[in-house]
Amino acid sequence: MSLKTFVKNRSHLFWYIGDLNQVSDDFVLEQVLNYGDFKDVKLLFKIMGIHKASTIFNKQIRKKRCNYRPEVKNYFKLYFKEYA
């Protein structure tokens, strides 16, 4: 399964985006970690790779403005530290 197929099959996570073909890996990761269930997260890691997801996540949380909810940010900081 490709990332585009993954996004199209989970359009409920991207309901406010007009063109689902134009979403970036960063945006997809952010939406799935914040609003997806763990089945979505596991499938995204399988498609994207856990190391790439970890790299993107760590880059995002270092920015001054971070869109992750505090509990999601904390959980995935610990998760990636253990598994990536």
Instruction: State mean pLDDT over 52-78.
Output: 94
pLDDT at 50: 96
Instruction: Return the closest-CA partner of residue 45 out of 16, 68, 69, 25.
Output: 25
What pLDDT does residue 45 have?
Answer: 96
**Residue range 33-56: mean pLDDT, rounded:** 95
CA-based nearest residue to 57, from 45, 46, 47: 45
Kindly list the domain boundaries of the chain, sorted by start residue.
Answer: 3-83
Q: What is the mean pLDDT of residues 1-27?
A: 83
User: pLDDT confidence of 8, banded at 50, 70, 90?
Assistant: confident
* Helix, strand, coil percent values for the chain (each to nearest 5): 75, 0, 25
Burial environment of residue 44 by CB neighbours within 10 A (0 to 12, 13 to 18, 19 or more):
buried
| pLDDT averaged over every residue in the chain | 91
Residue that is written with structure tokens 């790299």 in the block: 55
The answer on pLDDT for 17 being more than 80 is no
Q: How far is CA 69 from the centre of its chain?
A: 13
Q: Residue 54: count other Cβ atoms within 10 Å of its Cβ.
A: 20
Question: What pTM did the predictor assign?
Answer: 0.87
